[in-house]
Amino acid sequence: MKKVVYLSLLMGCSSLMAQNGDNLHREDKGSVIITKNLEIKGNDFIYDEWNRGMLVLNDSIFSKQDFLKFDVFKNRVFIKKNQEEIEIQDRSLSGFSIIEKERNLKHDFVKLNLSHFKSGIEDGFYEIVFNIQNTNYFIKKNTKILFDPNRSKGSQTINNFPLEYQDKTFYFIKNSEGLYVKVRLKKKDVKLVLVNHSKLIDGYMKSKKLKYNKESDVVKLVNYYYSL
């Protein structure tokens, strides 16, 4: 009887493993060797893979591009010339713009370093949150992380899912010292930076029916604050 139960369990496990793809395992002299799924779902760039745009060198030289890509996973900028993909590694690159095809919207990025922030933040390209006034009081860091769906799915032997690129966005508001402070889109965080005119801020948010968890509403509040 024990032998029958053992064989049933063994056949059940073999059937389950076979349903998870050929890349799950291989056999070597009777031993099962787990192999990793090397596929990555999603992409490492922001907006479209290739966009019309513009490079900015030394804050003064502008170079229009028909094909520009921003790899936000590794914080790299590429252009394409004669079908050749070229990474821009020139230290004079101080910013760039991307024209998003779907909404025909321009996204402006500036290169910032530790001296621009109140606390230790990595160097890189930060996007100025779009606003009609064209101010730079509110910026964001667009990035990607590699998420491993196997971590919460039990045994990796059975759940050999590919890694996934997932979007991650961090926001920063400029304080009275001219330094950017990292915030969440929450009332408490925003008001810790915009420390003056508390009653006016509350009145403005209420009269305009704005919300602290909306990017477009927070940029309106920040521009209003700096107009006082």
Q: Note the pLDDT tens digit of each residue in 70-104.
A: 999 999 999 999 999 999 999 999 999 999 888 88
pLDDT in tens, 8-53: 433 444 443 334 434 444 444 445 445 555 678 888 898 888 999 9
In whole angstroms, what is the distance from residue 41 CA to residue 165 CA?
A: 6
> What would the pLDDT profile of 111-131 be if each residue is shown by its tens digit?
999 999 998 788 899 999 999
- Is 226's pLDDT higher than 70? yes
Overall pTM surpassing 0.95 (yes/no): no
What is the Cβ-side half-sphere exposure of residue 143, based on CA atoms within 13 angstroms? 16
The domains of the chain are located at 1-35, 39-183, 184-228
Q: What is the mean pLDDT of residues 142-162?
A: 71
pLDDT at 153 > cutoff 60: no
What gap in Å lies between CA 203 and CA 37, rounded to an integer? 54
- Contact residues for 69 (Cβ-Cβ < 8 A; gap 6+): 45, 49, 50, 51, 77, 78, 79, 80
Backbone angles phi and psi of 50, in degrees to 5: -125, 130
pLDDT above 90: percentage of residues in the chain: 61
Q: Which of the pair, 151 or 5, is modelled with greater confidence?
A: 151
Residue whose tokens read 């009081």 = 137
94 with 66: CB under 8 angstroms?
Answer: no
